[in-house]
Amino acid sequence: MSLITPDLGLLFWMLIAFGVVFGILAKIGFPIITGAVASRREHIESSLKAADEANSRLASIEEQAQKLLEDAQARQNEILKQATANGERIVQEAREQAQVEAARELEAAKQQIETEKRKALGEIRSTVALLSVDVAEKVLRQQLGDKESQQSFAMRLVEEAERSEQGRES
C-alpha cells in the first residue's frame, strides 16, 4: 500500500463512514444549524426593524423638541416684547405723573409766592402808612405850632371829609 494511492477497500469504508456521518448530520445537525441561522437572521431583522423604529421615534422626538424649542423662543420673544412695552408704558406714566406733580408743585409755589407777595405788600403799605403818619405828624407839629393854625387846619380837614363824603353818596 502506498501512501499516495489508497486501497479500494479503504475507499469503500471511507465512503460508507462519510455517508453515515453525512446522513446523521443531514438528519440531526443541519436542521439545527439552519434553524439557528434562521433564528439568528430573524433576530437580526427584528433588531434592525426595532432600530429603524427607534430612529424614526428619535427623529419624531427631535422634531417635537425642535418645535417646542421654537415655541419657547417665540414665547420668550413675545414676553420680552410685552415686558418692553410694559416698561415703556410705566416709564411714560411715571413721566406724565412727574409732570403733573411738578405742575401742581409749581402752581402751589406760585400761589405761595403770590400770598407772600400780598403779605409783604400789606406789611410795606402798613409800614409806609405808619411812616407817613409819623412824618405827617412831625410836619404838622412844625407847621402848626400855634393854636390858630391847628384850628384852621382841623376845619379844612373836616370840610374836605364832608366834601368827599358827599361825592361818594352821589
Q: Looking at residue 26, what DSSP letter applies? A: I
What pLDDT is recorded for position 29? 87
Handedness of CA 54, 56, 58, 61 (dihedral sign): negative
Determine the structural domain holding residue 110 and report its residue range: 18-169
Domains contained in the chain, number: 1
4 within some domain:
no
Confidence of residue 144 (pLDDT cuts 50, 70, 90): low
115 within some domain:
yes
pLDDT exceeds 70 at position 170: no
11 within some domain:
no
What pLDDT is recorded for position 35? 92
105 within some domain:
yes
Mind listing the pLDDT tens digit for each residue in 11-54? 899 999 999 999 999 999 889 989 999 999 999 999 999 999 99
13 within some domain:
no
Question: Could you give the CA distance from residue 111 to residue 107 in angstroms, rounded to a whole number?
Answer: 6
9 within some domain:
no
DSSP string computed for 31-96: HHHHHHHHHHHHHHHHHHHHHHHHHHHHHHHHHHHHHHHHHHHHHHHHHHHHHHHHHHHHHHHHHH
131 within some domain:
yes
End-to-end alpha-carbon separation of the chain, Å?
183
Percent of the chain with pLDDT over 70: 85
Q: What is this structure's pTM?
A: 0.40
Identify the top-confidence range among 3-7, 26-30, 121-125, 155-159: 26-30
pLDDT, average across residues 73-78: 95
What pLDDT is recorded for position 44? 96
Q: Which amino acid is at 24?
A: I
Give the three-class secondary structure for 5: coil
What pLDDT is recorded for position 139? 66
